[in-house]
Amino acid sequence: MSAIVDPVATTSARLLRLLSLLEARVEWRGSELATRLDVSARTLRRDVNALRELGYPVNAVMGADGGYRLGAGGRLPALVLDDDQAIAIALALQTAPATVTGIDDAVARALTTLRQVMPARLRAASEAFEVTSLRNYWEFSAAPVEVVTLRTVGAAIRTARVLRFDYCDPDGTVPDPGRPGFRPPREVEPHHLVVWAGRWYLIARDHRDRTWQTYRVDRIRPRTPGGGAVFTPGPLTRDDLTRLVVQNPDRGDTPGQWQCVGSAVLDLPAAVVARWAPGGSVVEPVGEHRSRLTIGGWSWAGIAGLFITFDTDLSDVEPPELRAAMDHIGKRLGAATAR
């Protein structure tokens, strides 16, 4: 016997998905919406009219292809999700990165709350995705970010307020005015939070000299939890963020906490090395076309392998254990090619 499909339930699910699509973008072409919903143009028009009858202001957009947009006040009711959204949130909560401290319990409670308000069908589907995350030994661990710090920085970005903070030394020591090389608290205009290679970065503009800077969030100790003066955010593209984080050797990174840490000078510009160096490494310019890379790993051979991937001449290799590993690898590869 074939299963009986409830047309009312099918239509309701489709209306909910249509509403979520309309909320996700300012404007849709009618043909795009019909394709996403896998319905005809006629069915789409009928569904749009059904949403209007329910009180959602779906406005028609005139043009060659025609389209729709959600008018003012047209927002999804709280915690009403379509199938894809519910599964996506459940998976995101279970795979939340361990780079923020103080949220483990909140993540578990959020997942439990979400499942309690789901219909039985969606709850069963979300519970089918029980995910366990295991650590990969090539993940270059970083100091976790305090959730309070992340909340303060995020609020300053959202409200466009100047952020004043102490920037800790790489070892986590808060700057001391009595120490040589002391730098006073930073005052910046925060623009973006960026996550790359398991690390959180703040992209900000110096409030005084107007230069763009990149800061590791785990080294930030806010001094103005409520935020400072209001500023006007400047435009930054995705390419700008890539340049300021991925390609930036001065992004505040420190070597990962590994049992082996070595360095060498590469015949490559710092920006190139920074682009391809894994998280947990430090890149320092040595002239215009050379740079020093410091990197950690679980073995000296592993570190040597990472240097080899840059396919360039190396010099000033430290410490002796890393030089020995490179020499051993060279002899082994030479013997392999001879055979």
Reading the block at residue 238, the tokens are 């995705």
Nearest to 114 by CA among 131, 99, 92: 92
pLDDT in tens, 66-77: 889 888 765 555
Instruction: Tell me the pLDDT band of 260, cut-offs 50, 70 and 90.
Output: very high
Euclidean distance between CA atoms 25 and 61, whole angstroms: 13
* Summary mean pLDDT of the chain: 83
pTM: 0.67
pLDDT in tens, 313-326: 999 999 999 999 99
Angle at 226 between CA 225 and CA 231, to 5 degrees: 110
pLDDT at 331: 92
Indicate the SS3 state at residue 222.
Answer: strand
pLDDT at 215: 95
pLDDT at 195: 87
HSE-up of 186 (CA within 13 Å, CB side)?
27
pLDDT at 337: 85
Average pLDDT over residues 113-125: 74
- Return the H-helix or E-strand segment holding 163: strand 163-167
- Give the Å distances, CA to CA, from 280 to 14, 65, 254: 46, 50, 6
Average pLDDT over residues 8-25: 77
DSSP string, 71-139: -TT--PPTT---HHHHHHHHHHHHT--TTEET-HHHHHHHHHHHHHHS-HHHHHHHHT--------TTS
Nearest to 271 by CA among 255, 282, 256, 285: 285
Does 3 have pLDDT greater than 50?
no
pLDDT in tens, 277-324: 887 789 999 988 999 999 988 899 999 999 999 999 999 999 999 999
The better pLDDT of the pair 275, 180 is held by 275
Most distant CA atoms of the chain, gap in Å: 83
pLDDT at 140: 62
pLDDT at 110: 78
pLDDT at 142: 67
pLDDT at 285: 94
Q: Is the distance from CB of 269 to CB of 291 less than 8 angstroms?
A: yes
Cα-only R_g, the chain? 26
Euclidean distance between CA atoms 272 and 264, whole angstroms: 15
CB contact set of 144 (below 8 Å; sequence gap of 6+): 98, 99, 100, 101, 218
Give the relative orientation of helices 7-24 and 30-37 as an angle to the nearest 10 degrees.
130
Q: Is the distance from CB of 162 to CB of 187 less than 8 angstroms?
A: yes
Domains of the chain (ranges; CATH) run 7-70 (1.10.10.10), 83-127 (no CATH), 145-244 (no CATH), 260-338 (3.30.70)
* Cα–chain center distance at 210: 25
pLDDT in tens, 200-235: 999 999 988 899 999 999 999 998 766 688 999 988
Reading the block at residue 227, the tokens are 């935020």
Instruction: Tell me the pLDDT band of 270, cut-offs 50, 70 and 90.
Output: very high
Instruction: Tell me the pLDDT band of 5, cut-offs 50, 70 and 90.
Output: very low
Can you give 58-80 as a three-state secondary structure string? EEEECCCCCEEEECCCCCCCCCC
pLDDT at 85: 75
